[in-house]
Structure 1
Amino acid sequence: MKLRQIQYFFSQYQVGQLFKLERIFTLDDVKNYANLIQDFNPIHLDEQVASQSIFKQRVVHGMLSASLFSTLVGTNFPGAIYLEQSIFFKAPIFFEEQILAQVAIQDIKLKKGRSILKLNTTITKMDQKIAVTGEATILIN
Structure 2
Amino acid sequence: MDELIAQLTGKLGIDESVAKAATGKALAMVKQHAGDDLFGKIASAIPGASEAAASGAVANEPAGGGGGGMLGKLAGMASSALGESAGGGLELGAALSSAGIESDKLGSFLSTVIAFLKEKAGPEVMDQVLAKFPMLKTLLG
Higher strand share: 1
Higher helix share: 2
State the TM-score, normalizing by the size of structure 2.
0.28
